[in-house]
């Protein structure tokens, strides 16, 4: 049996009381974890403890077949992650996170799928995301993301270009939620939403970021007190529409009965400052479109789930006329009328497509707002809008042509328009072939419009 004194000496060496040569990998493995990540040595220790219960350092070293330094550093890290406890004899801690790992193990889940960056990918995929969004959020290259997505295919679902953890993997989802909670509790920072360019955070202590949601309500004459700070990070100037939608996002996450009446009060007191189209776009982006429509129904006093139309509008000519008018309206609640029409009527979508394209000539036409509103309606009703992709392409082509009056690269366009890179490349390739856009052979490649300026 390996003596206790040997391990005490090893601890003394690693903690810096003596000099010893340690490999770069072993040194990195001993650093305080910046994320909840486990390596193969960590996993070998966890599996041994799941099979045998309490284990000596010698047993752990033999099962993992790694050096004493690696075993020591893994034990130190797993203690920081609140997964194990003990000194001479090591055992798994008794907590919900360890229980969830045990459930996965007992279900013959391949725990190797949780190693390293794979776990970061799975955490990112608790919401629908496209590969370029995952790459930015996880800090890795897009080819690496695709490689991991292929490896994790049995655990995820795909819709179009977006991916998400399979909703039927209940034990995995429970584990990922507990990992998120563990990180948040240790940092006293609770992440409610994230994307490639920002996060919504609820914190106990002040942090670097822009206060938003309920933390800003007193500035708008709405009293609200809380033990938490509500932030958008990184720091930026926030519009009143963003503060409103952020509050909806936090409210949906918290399920606090005090929040909704305060959000209604915020809307009513600031409705003259609010752009409904902009709120629609933000509601879609922050995944609260359904909540936003329910809020509208609450404010205007209608039931958005009601399939029956209660009489026609005075200017009602046809379902298409009314739908077009209401979809272009910046009045609260008109989108609910669109929802009712979609549920009751068979619409001539091609006629509506032609009308939307004709109206693009008007200087106040809101292409992005219309598309966001139609996307919300499609999601809300479950009825496919067949012209949505065509309209989106028309809008994107116009937005790109307008943006490249001066030469710009794909990355510059992606940052300016907030459009996925693959869509920009596809549109530019098509427009170069038709002669509407010129390609400039610089490094990086740049593109400029060949079309005459609009009058």
| Domain coordinates in residue numbering, the chain | 30-174, 188-274, 307-385, 401-449
| Burial bucket for residue 442 (CB in 10 Å: 0-12, 13-18, 19+) | exposed
Entry pTM? 0.60
Handedness of CA 250, 255, 258, 260 (dihedral sign): positive
> Which is it for the CA torsion 418, 422, 425, 430, positive or negative?
negative
CATH code assigned to 30-174: 1.10.10.10
pLDDT at 70 over 90: no
Burial class from Cβ neighbours inside 10 Å (0-12, 13-18, 19+) for residue 51 reads: exposed
- Residue-level pLDDT at 166: 93
**Tens-place pLDDT, residues 248-275:** 999 988 877 789 899 999 999 998 899 9
Residue 306 predicted with pLDDT over 80: no
Structure confidence at residue 222 as a pLDDT band (50, 70, 90): very high
Distance CA 86, CA 6 (A): 17
Residue 19: the pLDDT is 44
DSSP label of 252? H
**Average model confidence (pLDDT) across the chain:** 83
Q: Report helix, strand or coil for 92.
A: strand
Q: What is the pLDDT, as a whole number, of residue 9? A: 56
Backbone angles phi, psi at 103, to 5 degrees: -65, -45
Name the token pair of 371: 């598309």
The dihedral of CA 333, 334, 337, 341: what is its sign? Answer: negative
Class of domain 401-449: mainly alpha
């Amino acid at each position: 049996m390996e003596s206790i004194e040997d391990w005490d000496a090893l601890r003394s060496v690693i903690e810096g009381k003596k000099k010893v040569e340690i490999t770069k990998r072993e040194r990195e493995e001993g650093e305080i974890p910046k994320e909840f990540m486990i390596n193969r040595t960590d996993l070998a220790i966890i599996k041994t403890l799941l099979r045998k219960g309490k284990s000596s350092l010698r047993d752990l070293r033999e099962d993992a077949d790694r050096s004493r330094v690696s075993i020591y550093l893994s034990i130190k890290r797993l203690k920081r992650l609140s997964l194990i406890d003990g000194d001479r004899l090591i055992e798994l801690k008794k907590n919900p996170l360890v229980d969830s790992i045990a459930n996965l193990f007992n279900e013959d889940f391949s725990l190797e799928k949780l190693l390293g960056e794979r776990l970061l990918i799975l955490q990112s995929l608790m919401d629908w995301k496209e590969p370029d969004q995952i790459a930015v959020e996880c800090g890795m290259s897009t080819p690496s993301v695709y490689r991991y997505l292929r490896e994790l295919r049995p655990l995820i679902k795909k819709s179009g270009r977006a991916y998400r953890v399979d909703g039927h993997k209940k034990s995995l989802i429970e584990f990922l939620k507990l990992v998120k909670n563990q990180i948040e509790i240790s940092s006293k920072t609770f992440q409610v939403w994230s994307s490639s360019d920002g996060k919504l955070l609820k914190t106990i202590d002040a942090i670097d970021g822009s206060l938003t949601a309920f933390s800003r309500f007193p500035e708008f004459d709405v009293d609200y007190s809380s033990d938490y700070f509500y932030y958008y990070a990184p720091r930026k100037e926030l519009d009143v529409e963003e503060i409103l939608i952020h509050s909806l996002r936090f409210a949906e996450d918290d399920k606090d009965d005090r929040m909704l009446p305060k959000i209604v009060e915020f809307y009513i007191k600031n409705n003259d400052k609010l752009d409904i189209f902009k709120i629609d776009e933000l509601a879609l982006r922050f995944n609260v479109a359904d909540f936003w429509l329910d809020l509208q129904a609450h404010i205007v006093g209608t039931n958005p789930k009601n399939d029956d139309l209660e009489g026609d509008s005075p200017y009602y000519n046809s379902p298409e006329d009314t739908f077009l008018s209401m979809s272009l309206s910046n009045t609260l609640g008109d989108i609910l009328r669109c929802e009712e029409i979609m549920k009751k009527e068979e619409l001539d979508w091609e006629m509506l497509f032609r009308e939307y394209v004709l109206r693009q000539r008007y200087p106040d036409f809101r292409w992005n707002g219309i598309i966001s509103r139609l996307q919300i309606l499609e999601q809300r009703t479950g009825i496919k809008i067949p012209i949505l992709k065509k309209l989106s392409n028309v809008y994107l082509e116009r937005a790109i042509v307008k943006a490249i009056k001066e030469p710009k690269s794909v990355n510059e366009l992606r940052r300016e328009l907030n459009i996925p890179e693959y869509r920009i490349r596809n549109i530019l390739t098509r427009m170069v072939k038709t002669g509407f856009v010129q390609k400039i052979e610089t490094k990086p490649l740049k593109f400029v419009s060949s079309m005459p300026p609009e009058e």
